[in-house]
């Protein structure tokens, strides 16, 4: 199983600041097979980024993804109040399609 | 394009639960369906997928001996059945459809979730 480790576990920032979230895999993940999701309490997860760097339909351009191999990054350029949530990376390179443990982005 | 799941369930330890996920607005047999769960205070956990067109399935090893994914193409509905329930199976269970037809990756459309509570 490919283990994904996200860091930090919690990120405390203010609206308007830049957020950088990391997802590290124990073994190489094809970029095409890496996705990022946003999850808010009481809602279903929402696909933000697929193929490591492609934004899903309707996702604002302040969200961007990058990385390859074992290191991937989700960047939110200027935080809006609605961006505070939990973020997960997921790999589809090999089954089981594991998720990272999540990064909670909270308001400072 | 929408996925609507069945309502909350309360089950006793050792029982089974079957959650449904009704698809609308797209060709049901053209897309895989994933199942993901989230236990209280925990992260997302992938359980498996089904290809409604062929009935083929892949399960995460953790659930291999207890989960069964099925589908009924006549009513565009996927099902997740989990047996021998334990208290740590208490979770919200989601179905999720990939972005593109005939592709496994990138769960782009999600059901609203079904809370399953296991308690004696």
pLDDT (average), residues A48-75:
96
pLDDT (average), residues A82-87:
98
CB contact under 8 A, A99 and B108: no
pLDDT tens by residue, B17-50? 999 999 999 999 999 999 999 999 999 999 999 9
Question: Which residue from B45, B62, B110 is facing A44, i.e. has the nearest CB?
Answer: B110
CB contact under 8 A, B112 and A44: yes
Question: What is the model's pLDDT at position A10?
Answer: 98
Question: What is the model's pLDDT at position B107?
Answer: 92
Question: What is the model's pLDDT at position B10?
Answer: 98
Question: Which residue from B44, B60, B96 is facing A88, i.e. has the nearest CB?
Answer: B44
- How many degrees, rounded to 5, is the angle at CA A34 between CA A32 and CA A38? 135
d(CA A30, CA B82): 31
Strands A10-13 vs A103-107: parallel, antiparallel or unpaired: parallel
d(CA A49, CA A75): 11
Spatial contact of B22 and B28, defined as CB atoms under 8 Å apart: no
pLDDT band at A88 (very low <50, low <70, confident <90, very high): very high
pLDDT tens by residue, B45-73? 999 999 999 999 999 999 999 999 999 99
pLDDT (average), residues A71-100:
97
**Average pLDDT taken over every residue of chain B:** 97
CB contact under 8 A, B43 and A88: yes
A 45-84 residues with CB below 8 A of B?
45-47, 50-51, 56
Phi, psi of B101 (to 5 degrees): -65, 150
Q: Measured between beta carbons, which residues in chain A are less than 8 angstroms from residue B44?
A: 37, 39, 45, 88, 90, 99, 102
pLDDT (average), residues B2-31:
97
pLDDT at B102 over 90: no
pLDDT tens by residue, A3-25? 999 999 999 999 999 999 999 99
d(CA A59, CA B119): 39
Structure-token match 């935080």, residue found: A79
- Which tokens in the block code for residue A72? 């991937």
Question: What is the model's pLDDT at position A21?
Answer: 98
The proportion of chain A whose per-residue pLDDT surpasses 70, expressed as a percent, equals 100
Strands A34-39 vs B9-11: parallel, antiparallel or unpaired: unpaired
How many contacts does A have with B, using Cβ atoms within 8 A? Answer: 62
Question: What is the model's pLDDT at position B103?
Answer: 87
Question: What is the model's pLDDT at position B3?
Answer: 98
């Amino acid at each position: 199983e490919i283990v994904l480790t996200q860091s930090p576990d919690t990120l405390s920032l203010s609206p308007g600041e830049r957020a950088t979230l990391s997802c590290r895999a124990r073994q190489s993940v094809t970029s095409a097979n890496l996705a990022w999701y946003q999850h808010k309490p009481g809602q279903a997860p929402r696909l933000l980024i697929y193929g490591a760097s492609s934004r899903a339909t309707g996702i604002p351009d302040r969200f961007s993804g990058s990385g390859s191999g074992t290191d991937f990054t989700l960047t939110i350029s200027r935080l809006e109040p609605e961006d505070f949530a939990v973020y997960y990376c997921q790999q589809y390179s090999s089954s089981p399609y594991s998720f990272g443990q999540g990064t909670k982005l909270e308001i400072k | 394009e929408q996925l609507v799941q069945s309502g909350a369930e309360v089950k006793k330890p050792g029982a089974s639960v079957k959650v449904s996920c009704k698809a609308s607005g797209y060709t049901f047999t053209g897309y895989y369906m994933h199942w993901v769960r989230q236990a209280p205070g925990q992260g997302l956990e992938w359980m498996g997928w089904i290809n409604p067109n062929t009935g083929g399935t892949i399960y995460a090893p953790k659930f291999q001996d207890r989960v069964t994914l099925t589908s009924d193409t006549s009513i565009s509905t996927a099902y997740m059945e989990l047996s021998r329930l334990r208290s740590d199976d208490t979770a919200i269970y989601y179905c999720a459809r990939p972005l593109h037809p005939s592709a496994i990756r990138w769960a782009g459309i999600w059901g609203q979730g079904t809370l399953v509570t296991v308690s004696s």
